[in-house]
Amino acid sequence: MRLVFIHGWALGPEIWDMLAPLLPARHIRVDLGFFGQPDVPALQYGDILVSHSAGLLWGLRQRGDWAGVVAINSFARFRLDASGEGCVPPAALRAMRQALERDAQACADNFRATHGLAPAAGKAQKQRLMDGLDLLRDFDATPLAGGRPTLVLGALDDALAPPAASRRLAEISGGTLALHEAGGHGMPWASPEFCAEQINAFLRAHDF
Alpha helical stretches, state H, 41-191 = 55-62, 90-102, 104-114, 126-138, 163-173, 187-190
Class at the top of the CATH hierarchy for domain 2-205: alpha beta
pLDDT over threshold 90, residue 187: yes
Residue spans of the domains in the chain: they are 2-205
pLDDT grade for 24, boundaries at 50, 70 and 90: confident
51 in Cβ contact with 135 (< 8 Å): no
Burial environment of residue 38 by CB neighbours within 10 A (0 to 12, 13 to 18, 19 or more): exposed
pLDDT in tens, 68-111: 999 999 999 999 988 888 999 999 999 999 999 999 999 999 99
Backbone torsions φ then ψ of 104, nearest 5 degrees: -60, -40
Q: How far is CA 176 from the centre of its chain?
A: 17
87 in Cβ contact with 162 (< 8 Å): yes
pLDDT grade for 1, boundaries at 50, 70 and 90: confident
Helices then strands, each counted (H, E), the chain: 7, 6
pLDDT over threshold 90, residue 20: yes
Mean pLDDT of 124-152: 96
* CA-angle at 30, arms to 53 and 153, nearest 5°: 30
* CA-angle at 130, arms to 103 and 91, nearest 5°: 85
